[in-house]
Amino acid sequence: MGFFQERLRHTLAVLASCTLSTQLLAQVLPMQRQVENGLEHEYMSLFQLYTYLHANPELSFKEVNTASRIQSELKNAGFEVSGSIGGNGVVGVLKNGTGPVVMIRTDLDGLPVTEQTGLEYASRVKTQDDHGNEVGVMHACGHDVHMTCFIGAARLLSQFKSQWRGTLVMIGQPAEERGGGAKAMLAERLFERFPRPDYVLALHDDATLEAGKVGIVEGNALAGVDSVDLVIRGISGHGAYPSATKDPIVLAAQTILALQTIVSRELRAIDPAVVTVGSIHGGTKHNIIPSEVRLQLTVRHYSDDVRNKILGSIARISKGLALASGIPADLEPTMAVSESIPPTINNPELSQRARKAIASILGANNVVRSDPVMGGEDFGFYGRTAERIPICIFWLGAVDKAKIEASHKEGSKPLPSLHSSFFAPAPEPTIKTGVKAMTAAALDLFARP
């Protein structure tokens, strides 16, 4: 039974006994209405926060102003706030008696994408990336939505302290897009320096789901991700005389095709996995055979065993093909793994509780079952600690129904995806739904430890 349903059942029982005062009845009966009324009161302020965040994104590990704004918002909501945790990470703590510790997480960073939405509040930010290149910056993955819903839930939960007992921990995490923020915050003893959570919740907007709806998946939710750099080397020379060389471009082409057999022929058909070569760099001129080719791969998986098998196969295949091509042993391929994050696996029991609690405020028709995806999220780190803390991330619909219906018509353009320069969530229904859903899920956890 969800939080609001449980409170209604309790209230009706008390009404039947005719022992409840009018004042107390006003406090107990309309909790769902109180959340909705409180959100209506806060919405314009939240929309202003959203447009500010949307127009002023910052890249991973550089979220200084964003973190400062989130700290200020949490302080104003009554939280004890700490900053600079794992870089630009923010932690807000609200203690409210004895009870469960519920942690809610948002991400802070934007992407190196030049916005093309045409919105009045579109980002026009230009900055330099880590390599000194000028890039546009955009919240193309909707972290501005996440932060706004996060602050909205913090405000409402603070206002309704009389309705729950426990400790609420709000964390603003840096560098989700680089896969380093969660790891950095945990490395700085997040769970030791601050109240250790009994549950960790998060949300992520969905560029294919109707605004006003929430999607929840139990178990496997988002894949583990490894970025792999593979360097294939050879012996350079003139393009007119390939027999005097060992051509790494031809070898790279053979390797790319052979890597596609890992998923199709080496893994069980029931094991989800992806091996994608996303970048090839080699050579400088038409008639020069280069000395090396650099490949950048993304590897996706849902288990450590599958991950290890894929990485071992990449190394074996690349070295084996080099040997078959006559590449000297001292020039065999080299491989490095970076930006590694584990899969995000939603705790089934917590996910079921979240589903019921959210349905109690949004309506059962607005809570749908989502499928696992091969996209990645470093939120999974919070559930990989020694304590195996239950975690749940749910999907937040962000698209007008009319746009979804139009995209399904033959010949229509597909909806802009996450990370697209045209991605523009429908603000009001998305934000209101996210705030209500997260508030309801947290209240349920506080009410029934």
Among 63, 109, 177, 206, the active-site one is 177
Residue boundaries of the structural domains of the chain: 3-222+342-447, 235-326
Give the active site residue among 42, 107, 176, 205.
107
CA-CA distance, 310 to 273, in Å (whole number)?
9
CA–CA separation, 311 and 331 (whole Å)? 20
User: Which DSSP state fits 365?
Assistant: G
What was the pLDDT predicted at 410?
75
CATH number of 3-222+342-447: 3.30.479.30, 3.40.630.10, 1.10.10.60, 2.10.109.10? 3.40.630.10
Contacts of 105 (CB under 8 A, 6+ apart): 150, 170, 171, 172, 173, 200, 201, 202, 379, 382
313, 262 Cβ separation under 8 angstroms:
yes
Distance between CA 257 and CA 249 in Å, rounded?
13
Taking CA atoms, 198 is separated from 103, 222, 350, 442, in Å, by 8, 21, 11, 11
Catalytic annotation present for 177: yes
Instruction: Please list, in sequence order, all residues whose beta carbon lies within 8 angstroms of the beta carbon of residue 158, skipping any fewer than 6 positions away.
Output: 77, 78, 79, 94, 168
- The pLDDT > 70 percentage for the chain reads 93
3-state secondary structure of 276: strand
Ramachandran sector of residue 33 (left: φ over 0; alpha: ψ -120 to 50; beta: rest): alpha
Q: Provide CATH code, domain 235-326.
A: 3.30.70.360
Q: Tell me the pTM.
A: 0.91
With 70 as the cut, is the pLDDT of residue 15 above it? no
* pLDDT one-digit tens code per residue, 390-446: 999 999 999 999 999 999 887 788 999 999 999 999 999 999 999 999 999 999 999
Of 156, 141, 173, 155, nearest to 34 (Cα)? Answer: 156
pLDDT of residue 214: 98
* Helix 427-447 with 143-159: angle, nearest 10 deg: 50
Banded model confidence at residue 386, pLDDT cuts 50, 70, 90:
confident
Cα 276 to Cα 325: distance, rounded to the nearest angstrom: 23
Closest C-alpha among 5, 178, 154 to residue 74: 154
DSSP 247: -
For 185-230, the pLDDT digits (tens) are 999 999 999 999 999 999 999 999 999 999 999 999 999 999 999 9
Q: Tell me, yes or no, if 36 is annotated catalytic.
A: no
Q: Rounded mean pLDDT of the chain?
A: 93
Q: How many CA atoms lie within 13 A of 433 on its CB side?
A: 30
Residues linked to residue 401 through DSSP beta bridges, in sequence order: none
Which distant-in-sequence residues (6+ apart) come within 8 Å of 24 by Cβ? Answer: none
Mean pLDDT of 261-276: 97
Whole-number Å distance between alpha carbons of 220 and 218: 7
Mean pLDDT across 353-376:
96
Q: No. of H helices and E strands in the chain?
A: 13, 18
